[in-house]
Chains A and B, each alone.
Chain A
Amino acid sequence: MAKAKSLEKQAGKTYHDDLAIVREELDKCMKCGNCMAVCPVYGADKVESAVTRSKIAVAEAVLDGQLELDDPQVYEMMFNCLVCKSCMTNCPTKVNFDRIMLALRAALVRKNGLPWLKKMIFSTLKHPALFDTGMRVGAALQGLAFKTDEGGKAISPRAPFAKVGGPLGFDGERQMPALNVTPLRDRVDEVVKVEGAVMKVAFFTGDSLNYFYPETGQDLIEVLTANKIEVHIPKAQNCCGVPVLVHGDVETVRTLARKNIDTFDATGCEYLITGCGSCGGAWQHDYVELLAGDPVYGPKAEYWAKRTFDISTFLTRIVKLREPKGRIERTVTYHDSCHLKKSMKVAAEPREILKSIPGLTFKEMAAPDACCGSGGSYVLSHFETASTIGRKKAEDIGRTQADTVSTGCPACMMQLFDNVHRAGGQQKVTHFISLLAESYRLEKTDN
């Protein structure tokens, strides 16, 4: 590990800048095939080009000059990966496959540039105001293309869009959370004070909680304040950058990382809290690796990496969770978000929180840490495979007889919501923090 790090720092370059740097990761792979047991894409496709060890073999062929990086087949293989890191948890020689995948994608972008559509979207991310306007316009216009369910929380594509959107998964069956007209960061004050605060923390909302699930974000803030913690939600914060990073746009994500670091430095808070495995993983790992060659921001990234916690870890390991007393008479199962479990190593904490809620019956599903098939935009680009993966997850959820499925990541919530619906399930999909918030609220009304 130390060796890999020294390589990263060579000439201020990281594997994001030079594909040759991942040779060391490639060399670790024995081609034993243990990744086949857990790779969700291989599990669905059943062809070996889908699985990690073959992607490594192809990467070797690219580095050896036998295959071209921009060969359409190499391109397709490269993007047929959820970057869920499941293979890494089952790898006997600890190959950091995420580095290989990101290095390949970054190298491709260096060679051919970004496709224009991605370029357009990603460049708006660097300008939060522009991106924010886009999301609001989207929220206002979504009624044209999507129909809304009764509560206004979910949308499905309307007929003509369902037809053209079919191959992307936007068929008439698809259910997604509605874009909220008022994002989270506009709903709450920049500093949420609480009487007798014992500590102050900064909340990195990420885009999903900000635009798609603002109520979940509000629940998270409510739980923190119920634990006597002052919450800072800086309005200047950006996207974490992971959606951009996985498409190889290294410069955009470095810009986002530096801006986010400045923004959170300015809060003066001791801890950074996330409610999304991908965002938390970015702060804990990706920023450090991306900025390893940056003498100013590298150390700052390392500073925040040690102070970033998922809300569940923070509540159970850093502070002592205020015992919830409001009864929730529900049977709840829990899906391990890949980035939460495999990147942030958070698995026991959300379960502890759920089990601490009175009245709540916790039922573990089979393979709770099997990927749900979301992978951010993977579900859009590889809808069929993502659905096969999602169907299995929906079946495992169904077998628990739980009425609620909880998770710790908004991207998983979207995918679970869609797949539970497609499987004809009635389970409510929620972030575990919302159940805790509900219990706290109930104890007020109970008394």
Chain B
Amino acid sequence: MLDPSIIEQLETLVGKENVLTGKVDLVAYSYDATADMPKQTPDVVVLPTSAEMVQEIVQLARRNKIAIYPRGAGTNLSGGAIPLKKGIVLSFQKMNKIVDVDPANLTAVVQPGVVIAALNAAVAPFGLIYPPDPGTVATATMGGSAAENSGGLRGLKYGVTKNYIMGMEVVLANGEKVRFGGKTVKNVTAYDFSNLFVGSEGTLGIITELTAKLIPAPKYRRTMMGVFKTLADAGNAVAGIIAAQVIPATLEIMDRMTIQTVEDFAHIGLPTDAEALLLIEVDGMAEEVVRAEAEAVMQVVRDNNGDLKTAETDQERDQLWTARRNALPALASLNNTVVLEDATVPRSRITDMLVACEAIGKKYNLVLGTFGHAGDGNLHPTILCDKRNADEIGRVHKAVDEIFETALRFGGTLSGEHGIGMAKMKYLGDELGQSGLNLMRSIKESLDPEYVLNPGKMVPLREN
């Protein structure tokens, strides 16, 4: 419990209506979208409306050794927003203004609580888009997705959040506010702070404003689906598309288990004897180029014994997307708990990784389906289990350990887009080694020596 005088001071800082201490409110901020994580209620939820308020709150928290847990929409998948050490949840849902849309410079300046889809709606009239598209675009905030460095379906061609953050305003753990970057395309002034704070998961500073890069919306697109009898054919098709020098906007894969489950769930006529399915979308500004790319893709699919379907209309495109859209819901319908991982491997090892995931599922007698972004090697092995079955949960943990071990062995990484948070902290040393862990700790401690910001995430707390 916090001293009541702290609550009073917070109320003076941000207004009574922006300080929540009721039991129900605290439960509402005790979790995020990550399965199989401990829940923890904070002592208080504070909803600031300005960067200056954030500075005052940080100073108050530091003076009184209270943890601060910054939170956007709480949709992350690595336990990043769970207030593990209680303290203050700093919710940015009321700092949701789009400050500036600048079509001449192809930039937008936003407060951290702006929802990604709201930014896209605001820039659409100018013919522009903000490309990063995590599955939660309709709810996730710009601040949260920058802190997590979210990816999405278009990563292969358009990159991820870090490629679109040009500048920031950040409140540091000492209460100072710092601004860097901006609207210029080129900027090599000082360290590349944007790339330090993007993906820092709220452990180094609190983002209070962002300058985002926009691009012209592609005018043409073609969508295709290839269904394969063997994983090797699908893997060769992925390699073949890249070898044909086509970079699709979307290149998604689903394994047999996922295809079968989607078909049982949505009855859309998928062949349940297929081993893999690829959903491919090419886009661009010139109709000719897009058509040529689509034809190249179709040829590759056919050359690799794929059963090809193409969409001529928006309605047909929607039908092709139905399978992919239903992947997670269909798998989730199988049990009460969805452990969704994002182990990532070099593109050339996609087939090996799919085979390995299936084998791991069998080894631990688990229901496991894999889908994901074949184009960038980012897979989502998904385990469906019963949270009330301790034995099964134990096997899930072993399987997850083995999935990460395998990804690293294939030259991959622990996380393609979900982040480390609490969920993957224990594996960090396996990828970075002791010197990497030391570097993490020295960066953390030079910016936040007292572990006020999102403590217990990314960098383990020092044991006292």
Report A's interface with B, CB cutoff 8 A: 27-28, 30-34, 36-37, 46-49, 51, 54, 57-58, 61, 67, 71, 73-74, 76-77, 90, 92-94
Once the chains bind, are B329 and A92 in contact (CB under 8 Å)?
yes
Contact A30:B33 (CB < 8 A) given known A46-B47, A46-B93, A77-B24: yes
Task: Decide if B25 is an interface residue (CB 8 Å cutoff).
Answer: yes
In the bound complex, CA of A46 to CA of B72 (Å): 11
Once the chains bind, are B73 and A57 in contact (CB under 8 Å)?
no
Once the chains bind, are A31 and B33 in contact (CB under 8 Å)?
yes
Residue of A nearest to B115 (CB): A37
Task: Decide if B434 is an interface residue (CB 8 Å cutoff).
Answer: no
Task: Decide if B328 is an interface residue (CB 8 Å cutoff).
Answer: yes
Once the chains bind, are A93 and B332 in contact (CB under 8 Å)?
yes
CB neighbours of A67 from chain B (8 A): 23-24, 27
What are 24 A-B pairs at a CB distance below 8 A?
A28-B332, A30-B332, A30-B338, A33-B33, A33-B73, A34-B138, A36-B73, A37-B117, A47-B45, A47-B47, A47-B93, A48-B25, A49-B24, A49-B28, A54-B28, A57-B27, A57-B28, A58-B27, A67-B27, A71-B24, A77-B24, A90-B138, A92-B329, A93-B333
Q: For window 30-44 of chain B, which residues contact chain A by CB distance below 8 Å? A: 30-33, 35, 39
In the bound complex, CA of A10 to CA of B445 (Å): 58
Nearest Cβ in chain A — how far from B415, in angstroms?
18
CB neighbours of A33 from chain B (8 A): 33, 73-75, 136, 139-140
Contact A32:B75 (CB < 8 A) given known A48-B91, A93-B329: yes
Report B's interface with A, CB cutoff 8 A: 20, 22-25, 27-33, 35, 39, 45, 47, 73-75, 91, 93-94, 96, 115, 117, 136, 138-140, 328-329, 332-333, 336, 338
Question: Which of B23, B27, B93, B115 has its CB near the most chain A CB atoms (within 10 A)?
Answer: B27
Once the chains bind, are A48 and B29 in contact (CB under 8 Å)?
yes
Once the chains bind, are B139 and A36 in contact (CB under 8 Å)?
yes
In the bound complex, CA of A28 to CA of B338 (Å): 10
Nearest Cβ in chain A — how far from B141, in angstroms?
10
Question: Which of A30, A34, A58, A90 has its CB near the most chain B CB atoms (within 10 A)?
Answer: A30
8 pairs of A and B residues whose beta carbons are closest in the complex: A54-B28, A37-B138, A92-B329, A27-B336, A48-B28, A49-B28, A33-B75, A73-B24
Once the chains bind, are A28 and B336 in contact (CB under 8 Å)?
yes
Residue of B nearest to A74 (CB): B24
Residue of B nearest to A37 (CB): B138
In the bound complex, CA of A339 to CA of B256 (Å): 38
In the bound complex, CA of A67 to CA of B96 (Å): 32
6 other A-B residue contacts (CB within 8 Å) besides A33-B139, A76-B24: A33-B75, A34-B139, A47-B28, A49-B22, A90-B138, A94-B333
In the bound complex, CA of A94 to CA of B28 (Å): 21
CB neighbours of B30 from chain A (8 A): 57
In the bound complex, CA of A71 to CA of B20 (Å): 16
Once the chains bind, are B73 and A92 in contact (CB under 8 Å)?
no
Nearest Cβ in chain B — how far from A311, in angstroms?
28
CB neighbours of B20 from chain A (8 A): 47, 49
CB neighbours of B73 from chain A (8 A): 33, 36
In the bound complex, CA of A71 to CA of B338 (Å): 31
Once the chains bind, are A58 and B28 in contact (CB under 8 Å)?
yes
CB neighbours of B25 from chain A (8 A): 47-49, 73
In the bound complex, CA of A73 to CA of B23 (Å): 7
In the bound complex, CA of A329 to CA of B27 (Å): 54
In the bound complex, CA of A28 to CA of B384 (Å): 12
CB neighbours of A61 from chain B (8 A): 27
CB neighbours of A48 from chain B (8 A): 25, 28-29, 74, 91, 93
Count of A-B residue pairs with CB < 8 Å: 89
Selected contact of B32 from candidates A31, A49, A71, A93, CB within 8 Å: A31
Once the chains bind, are A94 and B329 in contact (CB under 8 Å)?
yes
In the bound complex, CA of A57 to CA of B29 (Å): 10
Nearest Cβ in chain B — how far from A14, in angstroms?
21
CB neighbours of B33 from chain A (8 A): 30-33
CB neighbours of B29 from chain A (8 A): 48
Nearest Cβ in chain A — how far from B5, in angstroms?
23
CB neighbours of B115 from chain A (8 A): 37
Once the chains bind, are B31 and A31 in contact (CB under 8 Å)?
yes
Contact A46:B75 (CB < 8 A) given known A31-B31, A67-B27: no
Once the chains bind, are B136 and A34 in contact (CB under 8 Å)?
yes
Nearest Cβ in chain A — how far from B103, in angstroms?
21
CB neighbours of A77 from chain B (8 A): 24
Nearest Cβ in chain A — how far from B174, in angstroms?
29
In the bound complex, CA of A92 to CA of B47 (Å): 28
Nearest Cβ in chain A — how far from B122, in angstroms?
13
Once the chains bind, are A57 and B139 in contact (CB under 8 Å)?
no
CB neighbours of A76 from chain B (8 A): 24
In the bound complex, CA of A71 to CA of B23 (Å): 9
Residue of A nearest to B386 (CB): A27
Residue of B nearest to A61 (CB): B27
Nearest Cβ in chain A — how far from B314, in angstroms?
17
CB neighbours of B333 from chain A (8 A): 28, 93-94
In the bound complex, CA of A67 to CA of B73 (Å): 24
Residue of A nearest to B332 (CB): A93
Nearest Cβ in chain A — how far from B421, in angstroms?
15
Nearest Cβ in chain A — how far from B341, in angstroms?
14
In the bound complex, CA of A12 to CA of B35 (Å): 34
Nearest Cβ in chain A — how far from B275, in angstroms?
25
CB neighbours of A30 from chain B (8 A): 33, 35, 332, 338
Once the chains bind, are B74 and A73 in contact (CB under 8 Å)?
no
CB neighbours of B28 from chain A (8 A): 47-49, 51, 54, 57-58
Residue of A nearest to B333 (CB): A93
Residue of A nearest to B30 (CB): A57
Residue of B nearest to A66 (CB): B27
CB neighbours of B27 from chain A (8 A): 49, 54, 57-58, 61, 67
Nearest Cβ in chain B — how far from A367, in angstroms?
11
Nearest Cβ in chain A — how far from B140, in angstroms?
8
In the bound complex, CA of A370 to CA of B380 (Å): 33
CB neighbours of A93 from chain B (8 A): 329, 332-333
In the bound complex, CA of A90 to CA of B117 (Å): 15
Nearest Cβ in chain A — how far from B15, in angstroms?
13
Residue of B nearest to A78 (CB): B24
Nearest Cβ in chain B — how far from A357, in angstroms?
27
In the bound complex, CA of A67 to CA of B41 (Å): 13
CB neighbours of B35 from chain A (8 A): 30
CB neighbours of B328 from chain A (8 A): 92
Nearest Cβ in chain B — how far from A126, in angstroms?
33
Nearest Cβ in chain A — how far from B389, in angstroms?
13
In the bound complex, CA of A33 to CA of B33 (Å): 7
In the bound complex, CA of A94 to CA of B117 (Å): 22
Residue of B nearest to A92 (CB): B329
In the bound complex, CA of A56 to CA of B329 (Å): 18
CB neighbours of B117 from chain A (8 A): 37
In the bound complex, CA of A73 to CA of B26 (Å): 11
In the bound complex, CA of A31 to CA of B337 (Å): 11
Residue of A nearest to B135 (CB): A32
Nearest Cβ in chain A — how far from B305, in angstroms?
32
Nearest Cβ in chain B — how far from A315, in angstroms?
26
Residue of A nearest to B328 (CB): A92
Contact A92:B332 (CB < 8 A) given known A34-B139, A57-B28: yes
In the bound complex, CA of A71 to CA of B22 (Å): 11
CB neighbours of A74 from chain B (8 A): 23-24
CB neighbours of A51 from chain B (8 A): 28
In the bound complex, CA of A47 to CA of B71 (Å): 12
In the bound complex, CA of A54 to CA of B71 (Å): 15
Residue of B nearest to A366 (CB): B121
Once the chains bind, are A58 and B24 in contact (CB under 8 Å)?
yes
Nearest Cβ in chain B — how far from A53, in angstroms?
9
Nearest Cβ in chain B — how far from A288, in angstroms?
22
Nearest Cβ in chain A — how far from B156, in angstroms?
24
CB neighbours of B75 from chain A (8 A): 32-33, 36
In the bound complex, CA of A21 to CA of B73 (Å): 30
CB neighbours of A46 from chain B (8 A): 47, 93-94, 96
In the bound complex, CA of A321 to CA of B136 (Å): 42
CB neighbours of A90 from chain B (8 A): 138
